[in-house]
Structure 1
């Protein structure tokens, strides 16, 4: 008798019998891809010297202690899991931004938990200190710290409080972790630019090409009663990392076109089709409760 377990996966058009170990690998890849593609590579550093960028950044206020965003993750008709992004005050100048990815309890043989957190300020969203854990054991984690005085990024893997790997990268300018890029881009949403930006991924820094348009589009998501006016982002990751199971590809993302600049939806193409991340609920200090025909509104 074989030790492999198998899953029967059905969509409207097709049925697959897949190895459960392969299915688990796919879900881990999807979780990390959503973090890196949507919450890293989708996110853009716009050219701050342009008048348009300066005007837009002045009205975007994405930092809000107490904000909690819940997303559902879907592949075809199958719900893969949930993504939760939280903000909290770390001290007088820094925010702690966290992202938790969890697989759906209804999926058999699969138990995925991915946690990412970083410290940011409203002045600078470049890498300061990022912690990533993709294991059920919370003591197994990787920490990246920027040592600007020496122009390097220090990397430490640990397990049960013991360091198991120590490494470093030489990098003389700013680079961005996933959540740092998210918060920077929420501030700069709507810039009309195509740029290449440095992204920290799997112990190395690579470039990602992104087009951040200024066109608006109406998007409907589960979190709001009506459509939300959004700014659309498109791009293509030009690098491959182990966190993505050796894959790369195009992506799209939408941010609400208002002062909160909330990521409401993302779509990433993979070999099985399109993975979608959709905003399901919002807990915000400004008490966002609904939407008009064109923009998010708040309870007075």
Structure 2
């Protein structure tokens, strides 16, 4: 691989900790679904001002937080797009992890990516990878570099159709929650064209969360990433989204060779929304 956005090579911990830390930085792609083959109405998932904060835990160890924000609406290549951003930070108290990353994505109103940049901190500088999607030409143009802005390499990937990135997947899965079908989606993850199978024929469940003082009404689903991550990520995952129009992700579990990583909603801000209470 020419460039790794989230380099784990300098971690000084055991293999289980390294696997957990790797998954920590892959959580932006923990949930995926397929692209629609017909023209879709604008999604109601993307709402300006939405802020979601998640705790990331491996076993009994809290690794860090993921903050996902939907910022402003604008126009990109004639399409209405929303700027979204994710901040991924390890907790200072964790002795074996000191990792910080930022993902940014421009997502259109039917929830496909038009632009993505991922950055990871390396000392005083940030390494970066940038994806520009050109759907009329069915191409994605990739740029990679270090020291904040210096482009060190470029690549071009051929697209089979409209595609996701590591952050837009988070929103597209929400949009497809009630589809009731097993679906497949093309995405660019870790500089490659990949596919993920996800089963949206889930069921309604009551979910207990550490940060909500009542059981939450949720819809479950599961899936498998059809690629193998570094340090043995199996690709299997399961998740629970709120059973309402917002379809906010509230809980997810991703398997690694030893155990699993849990990602849990801990804070939220979305106009008019609170986690729906499960019925007794």
TM-score (norm 1): 0.79
Match of 1:94 in 2: 81
Report how far residue 23 of structure 1 moved: 6.8
Match of 1:259 in 2: 245
Match of 1:119 in 2: 106
- Structure 1 runs (4+) greater than 6 angstroms displaced: none
Report how far residue 135 of structure 1 moved: 2.5
1:233 maps onto 2:221 in alignment:
yes
1:8-67 superposed Cα distances (whole Å, 9 cap, x missing partner): xxxxxxxxxx9537577435412223222x2xxx22137677xxxx8xx88x72211111
Match of 1:105 in 2: 92
Match of 2:277 in 1: 292
1:249 maps onto 2:235 in alignment:
yes
**What residue ranges of structure 2 are gaps of 5+ in the alignment?**
1-10
Report how far residue 283 of structure 1 moved: 1.4
Match of 1:141 in 2: 128
Q: Which secondary structure does the structure 1 equivalent of 2:213 belong to?
A: coil
Match of 1:11 in 2: none
1:169 maps onto 2:169 in alignment:
no
1:197 maps onto 2:181 in alignment:
no
1:149-194 superposed Cα distances (whole Å, 9 cap, x missing partner): 3221100012232210111112241121122222122122122211
Match of 1:216 in 2: 204
Match of 1:62 in 2: 45
More deviation, 170-179/262-271: 170-179
1:180-233 superposed Cα distances (whole Å, 9 cap, x missing partner): 222122122122211222121122112212111142111122343311211111
Distance (Å, rounded) in 1 between the aligned partners of 2:35 and 2:191: 25
Distance (Å, rounded) in 1 between the aligned partners of 2:202 and 2:275: 24
Report how far residue 109 of structure 1 moved: 4.0
Match of 1:78 in 2: 61
Q: Which secondary structure does the structure 2 equivalent of 1:183 belong to?
A: helix
8 Å CA contact retained: 2:133, 2:140? yes
More deviation, 153-162/217-226: 217-226
Match of 1:277 in 2: 263
The number of equivalent residue pairs is: 263
Q: Which secondary structure does the structure 1 equivalent of 2:178 belong to?
A: coil
1:184 maps onto 2:172 in alignment:
yes
1:291–1:203 CA distance, 2 compared to 1 (3 A): closer
Distance (Å, rounded) in 1 between the aligned partners of 2:214 and 2:46: 24
1:35 maps onto 2:28 in alignment:
yes
Distance (Å, rounded) in 1 between the aligned partners of 2:234 and 2:158: 25
Distance (Å, rounded) in 2 between the aligned partners of 1:245 and 1:115: 22
More deviation, 128-137/263-272: 128-137
Q: Which secondary structure does the structure 1 equivalent of 2:179 belong to?
A: coil
1:44 maps onto 2:30 in alignment:
no
Larger Rg: 1
Please, what is the CA RMSD of the aligned residues?
2.6
